[in-house]
Amino acid sequence: MEAAAATTPASTETRKLTMRAAVRERFGNPRDVVRIRDLEKPVPGDDELLVRVHAASINVADWYAVVGRPWIGRVAMGVRGPKELRIGTDYAGTVEAVGKAVTGFAPGDEVFGGRTGAYAEYVVADAGRAVAHKPANVSFDEAAAVPIAAITALQAIRDQGRMGPGQRVLVNGASGGVGTYAVQLAKALGAGHVTAVCSTRNVETARSLGADRVVDYTQEDFTRLDDRFDLMVDVAGSRPWRHVKRVLASRATVVLVGAPKKGPLLGPLEHVIGMRLASIGSGRRLVFFVARLNKEDLETLGDLLEPGRIRSVLDERYELDRLVDALDQMGDGHCRGKIVVTM
Ligand SMILES: NC(=O)c1ccc[n+]([C@@H]2O[C@H](COP(=O)([O-])OP(=O)(O)OC[C@H]3O[C@@H](n4cnc5c(N)ncnc54)[C@H](OP(=O)(O)O)[C@@H]3O)[C@@H](O)[C@H]2O)c1
């Protein structure tokens, strides 16, 4: 559809209108600092879309952005206080208006993507960046769960892990946001065998996602398995190198995705640094990366979601007014799949 025809006189009419959005003016416990405010409804620029958000999801990064930890992260987040008041990244919604230079999107399109400020009734998205059409058979909740977690899993397996066909893959931390997609993507991209590590209550979920073997970490130590993995996607970061290396094939790759929150200064980076140093000279490749949100990967994920080759696992669903409860649950670190917030 021709975008110019649908450009935004609507936005000028609505410029004075407000929207409900979550903000925090200082870092701290979500309950103390997160507020739902009326903000001016955004107006899309020439290359942008105005999206009416139906659902957003919570990522650990959103929790870090609220509490302002680890302190090293404040270089980007703001040293004295948050540089950006709005919070949230992942969303799914309906395009309400498009800028005059936008092609490929039109009002009424259902989309999903990532943009700061997603815990709000509206976001403005750069049409050329991390936004894509939502498959019609995938709900807004399911689509909102996808961006950061599934892109992280995809880039961990395909780009950083360079997984080859038939490889034996281990996903440690298989039941949260990143892990539930990682298990499915490893299978969908041709792994020969996938072992998922999670706690007792999530064993059935991990199995239902296609894991060939599920290790309940409360009952069994995965680093004592009689198995050797070509690729380990370490989402939980729960074990030191000297244990992990016992189950690695001689030319294995370990992709470090996450780690416990740990100390206030470096947070999860403490574990990353420890693993990096300990792995030197081991002959194994160990990589840590920060996922990059982008349109192409969202489209790839949409293509896998549409025929049901991957799906979103949804945990609790909260309304925007209960965002602090959602953030508290995220902070506990035991989600099953993704927490969704509806507007
Ligand atoms: N590098 C990047 O770009 C990137 C991007 C996204 C996320 N991350 C990081 O990745 C990590 C996970 O993110 P997420 O969104 O998946 O978090 P999440 O949804 O909170 O999931 C965490 C999962 O870890 C599991 N877990 C906790 N302790 C464990 C243990 N000892 N052994 C195995 N599993 C354990 C939990 O399962 P149980 O309840 O069964 O224990 C939970 O399902 C975080 O550290 C996050 O910061 C990094």
Does one domain contain both 142 and 164? Answer: no
Residue 294 Cα distances to 48, 155, 242, 317, 339, angstroms: 15, 11, 35, 26, 22
Residue 296 placed within a domain: no
Residue 297 placed within a domain: no
Does one domain contain both 152 and 136? Answer: no
Determine the atom of ligand 1 nearest the C-alpha atom of 289.
1
Does one domain contain both 277 and 335? Answer: no
Residue 119 placed within a domain: yes
Beta bridge partners of 120: 21
Does one domain contain both 278 and 169? Answer: yes
Q: What's the pLDDT score for residue 91?
A: 98
CA distance 292 to 308: 24
Q: Are 145 and 340 in contact (CB under 8 A)?
A: yes
pTM of the model: 0.94
CA distance 81 to 79: 6
Does one domain contain both 162 and 142? Answer: no
Least Cα distance to 169 among 187, 153, 144, 142 occurs for 187
Q: What residue type is 90 in one-letter code?
A: D
Tokens of 18: 């407000």
CA distance 336 to 260: 17
Distance (Å) from CA 180 to ligand 1 centroid: 10
Report the domain count for the chain: 2
Residue 261 placed within a domain: yes
Name the residue of 170, 175, 214, 272 whose CB sits within 8 Å of the most ligand 1 atoms, as the mutation to test its pocket. Answer: 175
DSSP summary character for residue 120: B
Domain range spanning residue 259?
148-288
Q: Which residues contact 176 (CB under 8 A, 6 or more apart)?
A: 149, 235, 333, 334, 335, 336, 337
Tokens of 162: 């360079």
Residue 304 placed within a domain: no
Does one domain contain both 240 and 112? Answer: no
Does one domain contain both 125 and 205? Answer: no
Residue 303 placed within a domain: no
Q: What's the pLDDT score for residue 22?
A: 98
Does one domain contain both 121 and 154? Answer: no
CATH of the domain at 109: 3.90.180.10
Q: What's the pLDDT score for residue 16?
A: 56
Q: pLDDT (tens digit, 0 to 9) for every residue of the chain, 343 residues total?
A: 333 334 444 444 445 599 999 999 999 999 999 999 999 999 999 999 999 999 999 999 999 999 998 888 898 899 889 999 999 999 999 999 999 999 999 999 999 999 999 999 999 999 999 999 999 999 999 999 999 999 999 999 999 999 999 999 999 999 999 999 999 999 999 999 999 999 999 999 999 999 999 999 999 999 999 999 999 999 999 999 999 999 999 999 999 999 988 878 888 889 999 999 999 999 999 999 999 999 999 999 999 999 999 999 999 999 999 999 999 999 999 999 999 999 9
Does one domain contain both 63 and 197? Answer: no
Residue 48 Cα distances to 128, 150, 153, 203, angstroms: 8, 24, 27, 42
Does one domain contain both 239 and 207? Answer: yes
Does one domain contain both 186 and 129? Answer: no
What residues are in contact with ligand 1 under a 6 Å CB criterion?
A: 59-60, 148-149, 152, 172-173, 175-179, 197-199, 202, 217, 235-236, 238, 257-259, 268, 289-291, 333-335
Residue 254 placed within a domain: yes
Does one domain contain both 91 and 102? Answer: yes
